Amino acid sequence: MSHSGVDHPRLAAEFVKNDSRAHWHDQALWFVRAKRDKAAQSLPEWETLRERASQIKRNVSANLADYLEEFEANATKMGATVHWARDAAEHNQIVLGLLERHNAKRVVKSKSMLTEECHLNPFLERHGLNVVDTDLGEWIVQLRNEPPSHIVLPAIHIKKEEVGELFHRKIGTDSGASDPTYLARAARKRLREEFLAADAGITGVNFAIAETGGIVVCTNEGNADLGTSLPKLHIACMGIEKLIPRADDLSVFLRLLARSATGQPITTYSSHFHGPREGCEMHIVLVDNGRSNILGSDEFRRSLNCIRCGACMNTCPVFRRSGGHSYKTAVPGPIGSILAPSRDAQQYASLPFACSLCGSCSDVCPVKIDLHHQLLTWRREITVRGHLPWTKRVSMKMARIVLVRPAIYRMAGFLLRKVVLRMPRALLYNPWNAWGKSRDLPPPPKQTFRQIYQQRHGK
Amino acid sequence: MRVGLFIPCYVDQLYPRVGLATLELLTRQGLEVDFPVEQTCCGQPMSNTGCCDDARPLAERFLEIFSAYDYVVAPSGSCVSMVRNHYAELVGDHPHYAAVRDKTFELCEFFTDVLQIERIEGAFPHRVGLHQSCHGLRELRGGRASELMVDSFSKTRVLLESLDGIELVELSRVDECCGFGGTFAVAEAAVSTMMGRDRIHDHQQAGAEVLTAGDMSCLMHLSGLIRREKIALHVMHVAEILAGYEVAS
């Protein structure tokens, strides 16, 4: 791994060091996974829905250009303005331009992973704007001046006592108060002031419907509705993969999304926007930012099917124990470990290896992305591009040299059993023995299986 | 029926008892079983690390060595999955590839699917925790993964439950990964270790005397932790239990 790249093993080890906190994090996410299981179980047609969703998304990928143009035409007909952004910089510039044209100073924003990916908040703040994230979890991490650690549960890594302390410092709640209802009410009161004073509302987009030109935003707090109901300007930011062909398809995705994400039958609010309100403006920014490169790749195209439910994170045994921040990318976890190397394979070379290849993510995914196979494909790609750490490169080459020749294999095995595994513990469990830091090596048997077999069969 | 016995390299070197148990189980069914001594490794460690060029010659050797048999059977879901699901990219155009892929089976699925045997004579009067090794479960579909909303089944469990006196304990997380993951165990040692401890703890709280699995690699990792931490839990491969071996100390 390059020294400048994300060192997932190191960041994960730091997270694991706090054993009780790491277990608390693991259990919090496992609780969500278990809720998801119950919710999925309640639908006899669950597996059929997954297959349908996967097929719809594959159709979208195969015809994305057409669906995007159809969407643009229909959205425009309803009075929305559609913008196209090649990358994060263009996206941020478009949003800034719109805000400046409306002389907007205060902006309220509902959850949008795309704007996280584009680092919109710091960009707007650098230009003198006041941006408030209005999703409670996002607002908490914003007050802490840190990125979300999970795409659906942005503050899942923070305990309620810590939120109490934060709110005490930032918005003057009672010292020592950690009652969730009390804290949520205080946040609600404060955020209401932000909603009332806002000049513009920014939202993400869960689904954009080509056939109608409408967009759908799913929230549990109603903050997308609040943020777009008062200001005269609504800017909706979305990746180009968020398209679905027909309004009918929504029934498939809305049923899968909330059940997979949090185990709810449906999100509390599924807000449909069809053009601007009277006297107002609605702008939709369609962002590529590397997506068409992924679309062009046979191996990784299916990663664009993702509907950002976060189920792969909740189920991932590594994510639950290493925390979202150990991935150093807006979208962490299994899906993030596929998307991030597409942007910069060297920077994110450790992420496809932050995985035991257990395959739970692929089975939990509501749109049937073969996540763990794509992670394996990324490992090969990283090797081909020369980003594999030399230790792994050399050890695999040596293993091959030994294993292609049975005589050398037998000799290496003999050394392992008769010498290495019989060394004094102090020598065997040396600082370079990464296996042996926490685990004993197996006691060496007297004979190998092949020796016993050959003796018995006189071969 | 001529069966080629495919014993993973680390089982050959470190766990001969598992190889012997597999051999005995198959021989008792009246099968002609042969262990081709030229075999070494299927190439999975290299392949999973991304080093296809290092894995390919091993995959080629494997196909050459095992093409002569009617069936190839291994006491490992992970190594069988390598052949069945991942050889295509390495040696997909090899003349023996498709035939060997279709006749290579993990031990338990060979019993239930090929021999159509779901009952093994014998007894194992112990409380057993079954660790569902991930590749046997999700890559070979040897059972229902807990994520999928399909009918429940487990080929390994069916065979174990047919033994007299055995009691399979109920885990709180029925199929969570143990954290071995090949080079993952070393490269991400901290997370790997935590995962392993959590699995062991689940088996302990469920009251297991013996922890078993279809893959010795999971068990090498778990028993490494058990030995280091002096935990009172025995570790045995499924083949050892099915073959009627005594509880190993």
Structure ipTM? 0.97
Chain A residue at shortest CA distance from B60: A404
Q: What angle do CA A363, A258, A282 make, to 5 degrees?
A: 125
Pick from B13, B57, B176: which is nearest to A317 by CB?
B176
Same domain, A74 and A201: yes
Same domain, A310 and A432: no
Pick from A357, A403, A434: which is nearest to B189 by CB?
A434
Same domain, A376 and A314: yes
The arithmetic mean of pLDDT across residues B61-73, rounded, is 98
Model confidence at A447: pLDDT above 70: yes
- Give the pLDDT of residue A459: 62
Contact A403 B50 (CB under 8 A): no
Contact B51 A13 (CB under 8 A): no
The rounded distance, in Å, linking the Cα atoms of B59 and B96 is 11
Chain B residue at shortest CA distance from A396: B46
Which of these three, A388, A410, A443, is where a domain ends? A388
The rounded distance, in Å, linking the Cα atoms of A107 and A192 is 13
As for how many domains chain A has, the answer is: 3
Per CATH, the architecture of B127-242 is what?
A: 3-Layer(aba) Sandwich (3.40)
Q: 207-266 in A: which are within 8 Å (CB) of B?
A: none
Which of these three, A261, A289, A317, is where a domain ends? A289
CB-CB contact of B214 with B238 (8 Å): yes
Q: 277-316 in A: which are within 8 Å (CB) of B?
A: 315
**Cα B102 off chain centre by:** 18
Contact A438 B52 (CB under 8 A): no
How near does any CA of chain A get to the CA of B182, in Å? 7
Same domain, A316 and A349: yes
Range of the domain at A7: 1-37+298-388
Q: Is A32 on the interface with B (CB under 8 A)?
A: no
- Give the pLDDT of residue A366: 98
**Strand-pair category, A269-273 with A81-85:** unpaired
Same domain, A173 and A227: yes
How near does any CA of chain B get to the CA of A355, in Å? 7
- Give the pLDDT of residue B249: 64
pLDDT tens for B177-189 read: 999 999 999 999 9
Question: What CATH number does residue A353 fall under?
Answer: 1.10.1060
Domain ranges of chain B: 2-114, 127-242
Tokens of A1: 């791994």
Same domain, A206 and A66: yes
Model confidence at B96: pLDDT above 70: yes
State phi, psi for A284 to the nearest 5 degrees: -115, 125
Q: 316-375 in A: which are within 8 Å (CB) of B?
A: 317-318, 321-322, 353-360, 362-364
pLDDT band at A4 (very low <50, low <70, confident <90, very high): confident
Beta bridge partners of residue B127, listed in sequence order: B167
Same domain, A441 and A336: no
**Cα B164 off chain centre by:** 22
The rounded distance, in Å, linking the Cα atoms of B131 and B115 is 24
Same domain, A209 and A322: no
Determine which of A315, A350, A439, A441 to mutate to test the interface with B (most B C-beta atoms within 10 Å): A439
SS3 at position A438: coil
What 8-state DSSP symbol labels residue A296?
T
pLDDT tens for A126-161 read: 999 999 999 999 999 999 999 999 999 999 999 999
Mean confidence (pLDDT) of chain B? 97
pTM: 0.97
Determine which of A396, A415, A451, A456 to mutate to test the interface with B (most B C-beta atoms within 10 Å): A396
Determine which of B6, B51, B60 to mutate to test the interface with A (most A C-beta atoms within 10 Å): B51
Pick from A322, A392, A406: which is nearest to B183 by CB?
A392
The arithmetic mean of pLDDT across residues B205-223, rounded, is 98
How near does any CA of chain B get to the CA of A449, in Å? 4
Q: Which phi-psi region, left, alpha or beta, contains residue A177 (left: φ > 0; alpha: ψ -120 to 50)?
A: beta
Model confidence at A3: pLDDT above 60: no
Same domain, A208 and A351: no
The arithmetic mean of pLDDT across residues A301-330, rounded, is 98
Question: What CATH number does residue A116 fall under?
Answer: 3.40.50.10420
Which of these three, A333, A368, A388, is where a domain ends? A388
Contact A356 B134 (CB under 8 A): yes
Within 8 A of B52 by CB-CB distance, chain A residues are: 380, 383
